[in-house]
Structure 1
Amino acid sequence: MKIRITLLTIMVFALSFQGITCTNYLVTKGASTDGSTMISYAADSHIRYGELYWRPAGDWPEGSMITLYDRGTAKPMGQIPQPPHTYQVIGFMNEHQVAIGETTFDGRTELVDTTGIVDYGSLMFLALQRSKTAREAIQVIAELVEKYGYASSGESFSIADANEVWIMEIIGKGNRMVLDKKSKKMVNADKGAVWVAIRIPDGYISAHANHARITGFPLENGKTSISSKNFKLLNQPDIEVVYSHDVITFARTKGLFTGKDSEFSFSDIYAPLNFGAARFCELRVWAMFNQVNSQMHKYYDYAAGALDNERMPLYIMPDRKLSVHDLMNFKRDYMQGTELDMSQDIGAGPFGLPYRWRPLTWKYEGKEYFNERVTATQQTGFSFIAQMRNWLPDHIGGIFWFGVDDAGSTVYMPFYCGIQSVTNCVAEGNGDILTYSETAAFWVFNRVAHFTYLFYNRVMPDLRELQSELETQFIAEIQEVDRKALEMYKSDPDRAREHLTAYSGKTAETTVARWRKLGEFLLVKYLDGNVKKEKDGEFLRNPWGYPQSPSFPGYPDAWKQKVVEQTGERLMTPDAK
Structure 2
Amino acid sequence: MMRLGEVVGWVVLGTVAVQGASACTNIVVGRKATRDGSVLITYSSDIAIMPRLLRVPGGSHAAGETVEVKGWEADDVRGRIPQASTTYTVLGLVNEHQVSMGETTTGGRRELRDRKGLLDYDALMLLVLERARTAREAIALVDALCREHGYGSSAETFSIADRHEAWIMELINKGPGQKGIVWVAARVPDDCLTVHANMSRITTFPLDDPNNWLYAKDVISFAAEKGYYDPKSGRPFSYRDAYHPDHGPSARRACAGRVWSVYRRAAPSRDFSDAWFRGEPGAEDYPLFIKPDRPLSVGDAMALMRDHFEGTPYDMTKGADAGPFGSPLRLRPLVFKVDGKEYMWERPISSPHAGFTIVNQTRASLPDLVGGLTWFTPDDASTSCFTPFYACMEALPEPYTTGDYRTFSWQSAYWVMNVVSNATYDRWSHVIPDVRAAQAEQEGTLLKMQPAIEEAAAKLAATDPKLARSFLTNYSLSSAETVFDRWRKLAEAIFAKHVDGYIKDAHGEAHETGYPEAWLRHVIESHPGRFSPPGKIGLTDY
What code does the residue aligned with 2:167 have?
A: W
Correspondence 1:43 to 2:45: yes
Q: Secondary structure at the match of 2:293?
A: coil
Contact 1:37 1:163 in 2 (8 A): yes
Could you tell me how far 1:297 is from its partner in structure 2?
3.5
Deviations along 1:137-176, one digit per CA (max 9) or x if unpaired, are: 001100000111110001000000010000000000112x
* C-alpha distance in structure 2 between counterparts of 1:72 and 1:491, whole Å: 40
Aligned to 2:152: 151
* C-alpha distance in structure 2 between counterparts of 1:106 and 1:276, whole Å: 15
Correspondence 1:305 to 2:306: no
* C-alpha distance in structure 2 between counterparts of 1:317 and 1:193, whole Å: 31
What code does the residue aligned with 2:411 have?
A: T
* C-alpha distance in structure 1 between counterparts of 2:147 and 2:423, whole Å: 48
Matches within 5 A, 1:357-506: 357-427=331-401, 430-506=402-478
Q: TM-score, normalised by structure 1?
A: 0.87
Q: Secondary structure at the match of 2:260?
A: helix
Aligned to 1:268: 241
Matches within 5 A, 1:3-152: 20-46=22-48, 48-69=49-70, 71-152=72-153
Contact 2:156 2:171 in 1 (8 A): yes
* C-alpha distance in structure 1 between counterparts of 2:426 and 2:204, whole Å: 47
Q: Which moved more, 1:253-262 or 1:208-217?
A: 253-262
Contact 1:216 1:262 in 2 (8 A): no
CA separation of 1:435/1:85 partners in 2, compared to 1, >3 Å: closer, same or farther? farther
Aligned to 1:229: none
Could you tell me how far 1:276 is from its partner in structure 2?
2.5
Deviations along 1:191-243, one digit per CA (max 9) or x if unpaired, are: 21100011111101111000010111111x3xx23xxxxxxxxxxxxx21110
Aligned to 1:570: 530
Q: RMSD over aligned Cα, in angstroms?
A: 1.6
What code does the residue aligned with 1:571 have?
A: F
Deviations along 1:271-318, one digit per CA (max 9) or x if unpaired, are: 122113211011101100111213543441001222521111111111
What code does the residue aligned with 1:516 have?
A: R
Contact 2:375 2:388 in 1 (8 A): yes
* C-alpha distance in structure 2 between counterparts of 1:22 and 1:554, whole Å: 37
Correspondence 1:259 to 2:259: no
* C-alpha distance in structure 2 between counterparts of 1:52 and 1:72, whole Å: 13
Contact 1:114 1:174 in 2 (8 A): no
Contact 1:389 1:397 in 2 (8 A): yes
What code does the residue aligned with 2:212 have?
A: E
Contact 1:147 1:192 in 2 (8 A): yes
Contact 1:57 1:86 in 2 (8 A): yes
* C-alpha distance in structure 2 between counterparts of 1:476 and 1:422, whole Å: 23
Aligned to 2:4: none
Could you tell me how far 1:426 is from its partner in structure 2?
0.9
* C-alpha distance in structure 2 between counterparts of 1:510 and 1:89, whole Å: 24
Deviations along 1:82-117, one digit per CA (max 9) or x if unpaired, are: 001110000000011100000000011111023310
CA separation of 1:147/1:130 partners in 2, compared to 1, >3 Å: closer, same or farther? same
Aligned to 2:182: 194
Contact 2:358 2:377 in 1 (8 A): yes
Aligned to 2:292: 318
Could you tell me how far 1:447 is from its partner in structure 2?
0.6
Could you tell me how far 1:573 is from its partner in structure 2?
2.4
Aligned to 2:254: 280
What code does the residue aligned with 1:320 have?
A: R
CA separation of 1:575/1:18 partners in 2, compared to 1, >3 Å: closer, same or farther? farther
CA separation of 1:476/1:211 partners in 2, compared to 1, >3 Å: closer, same or farther? same
Contact 1:293 1:318 in 2 (8 A): yes
What code does the residue aligned with 1:554 have?
A: G
Structure 2's unaligned 5+ residue stretches are 1-18, 538-542
What code does the residue aligned with 1:329 have?
A: A
* C-alpha distance in structure 2 between counterparts of 1:96 and 1:18, whole Å: 28
Runs of 4+ in 1 over 6 A off after TM superposition: none
CA separation of 1:70/1:416 partners in 2, compared to 1, >3 Å: closer, same or farther? closer
Q: Secondary structure at the match of 1:301?
A: coil
CA separation of 1:394/1:262 partners in 2, compared to 1, >3 Å: closer, same or farther? farther
Could you tell me how far 1:487 is from its partner in structure 2?
2.1
Could you tell me how far 1:346 is from its partner in structure 2?
1.6
* C-alpha distance in structure 1 between counterparts of 2:434 and 2:408, whole Å: 25
What code does the residue aligned with 2:206 have?
A: P
Q: Which moved more, 1:291-300 or 1:354-363?
A: 291-300
Contact 2:106 2:199 in 1 (8 A): yes
Aligned to 2:512: 552
Q: Secondary structure at the match of 1:351?
A: coil
* C-alpha distance in structure 2 between counterparts of 1:102 and 1:19, whole Å: 9
Contact 1:67 1:78 in 2 (8 A): yes
Q: Secondary structure at the match of 2:316?
A: coil
Structure 1's unaligned 5+ residue stretches are 1-16, 176-187, 226-238, 535-539, 541-546
Contact 1:68 1:78 in 2 (8 A): yes
Could you tell me how far 1:394 is from its partner in structure 2?
0.4
Could you tell me how far 1:71 is from its partner in structure 2?
4.7
What code does the residue aligned with 2:192 have?
A: Y
Aligned to 1:334: 308
Matches within 5 A, 1:496-535: 496-534=468-506
Could you tell me how far 1:25 is from its partner in structure 2?
0.4
Could you tell me how far 1:399 is from its partner in structure 2?
2.0
Q: How many pairs align?
A: 517
Q: Secondary structure at the match of 2:470?
A: helix
Deviations along 1:171-196, one digit per CA (max 9) or x if unpaired, are: 00112xxxxxxxxxxxx2x3211000
Aligned to 2:6: none
Q: Which moved more, 1:133-142 or 1:299-308?
A: 299-308
* C-alpha distance in structure 1 between counterparts of 2:21 and 2:153, whole Å: 14
CA separation of 1:366/1:300 partners in 2, compared to 1, >3 Å: closer, same or farther? same
Aligned to 1:246: 218
* C-alpha distance in structure 2 between counterparts of 1:104 and 1:142, whole Å: 17
